[in-house]
Chains A and B, each alone.
Chain A
Amino acid sequence: GAVVSQHPSWVICKSGTSVKIECRSLDFQATTMFWYRQFPKQSLMLMATSNEGSKATYEQGVEKDKFLINHASLTLSTLTVTSAHPEDSSFYICSASRQLNTGELFFGEGSRLTVL
């Protein structure tokens, strides 16, 4: 099966700093990548959809200036949480698809962010 890698798997940062999370498709080209956040005992909440080479499409209520998404290549997307605050502490997961906006989804292992 296709492999999606996230890095870092966990990160602790001080309030006010920015944190970058990488999502890489290791053995396939991901036309579309999705970013989610997940709070304890809740399901995944889609934050944004990014297609390679174009601006990300954010879900309602997600601040695009707060959560910067870059999908510069077919194998790499990054999520930057800017000026992080304790309420941004969460589990962030990415998924990748070979086909534009559809198709089989391959999830990364997730990145746990803790903001002190």
Chain B
Amino acid sequence: KNQVEQSPQSLIILEGKNCTLQCNYTVSPFSNLRWYKQDTGRGPVSLTIMTFSENTKSNGRYTATLDADTKQSSLHITASQLSDSASYICVVSGLTGGGNKLTFGTGTQLKVEL
């Protein structure tokens, strides 16, 4: 069964600090891995999409890594800001006979405090 597990479930950090969120998956065959940011009561917004051959991808203060061999990904947030408080969702796309199938992680709830 395809699964995507994220850790930690929730995290509180001080403004200006860095943090790393983890995503482990069992989805196979693998197509791509996505990280989304979802503010409370809003729709998710894409941060990065990584394919099999990509190890690192950055988007401003967000840097995602992917190890397709160990089926692990991380999202590193640098110099956190209050506006980074949100849920971060890892989504893995797997190849099926009918196209790609998305498996959603349960998310990491990040709170950035003063």
Question: Which residue of chain A lies nearest to B95 when distances are taken between CB atoms in the complex?
Answer: A102
Could you tell me the distance between the alpha carbons of A40 and B89 in the complex, rounded to whole angstroms?
A: 14
Task: Tell me whether B104 and A107 are in contact (CB under 8 A).
Answer: no
Given contacts A93-B43, A109-B43, contact A46 B102 (CB under 8 A): yes
CB B32 to nearest CB in A, in angstroms, measures 9
B74 interface residue (CB < 8 Å to A): no
A63 interface residue (CB < 8 Å to B): no
Question: Which residue of chain B lies nearest to A41 when distances are taken between CB atoms in the complex?
Answer: B109
User: What are some 10 contacts across the A-B interface (CB < 8 A)?
Assistant: A42-B106, A43-B87, A43-B104, A44-B44, A101-B99, A101-B101, A102-B31, A104-B46, A105-B102, A107-B44
A71 interface residue (CB < 8 Å to B): no
How many interface residues does chain B have, given as a range? 20 to 34
Interface of A, secondary structure class, is: strand
Task: Tell me whether B100 and A101 are in contact (CB under 8 A).
Answer: yes
Could you tell me the distance between the alpha carbons of A106 and B46 in the complex, rounded to whole angstroms?
A: 8
Could you tell me the distance between the alpha carbons of A110 and B44 in the complex, rounded to whole angstroms?
A: 9
| Max chain A C-beta neighbours (<10 A), residue from B34, B41, B109 | B41
The 8 Å CB contact of A101, one of B44, B89, B98, is B98
Residues of A with C-beta under 8 A to B41: 91, 110, 112
Could you tell me the distance between the alpha carbons of A4 and B43 in the complex, rounded to whole angstroms?
A: 10
Task: Tell me whether A108 and B49 are in contact (CB under 8 A).
Answer: no
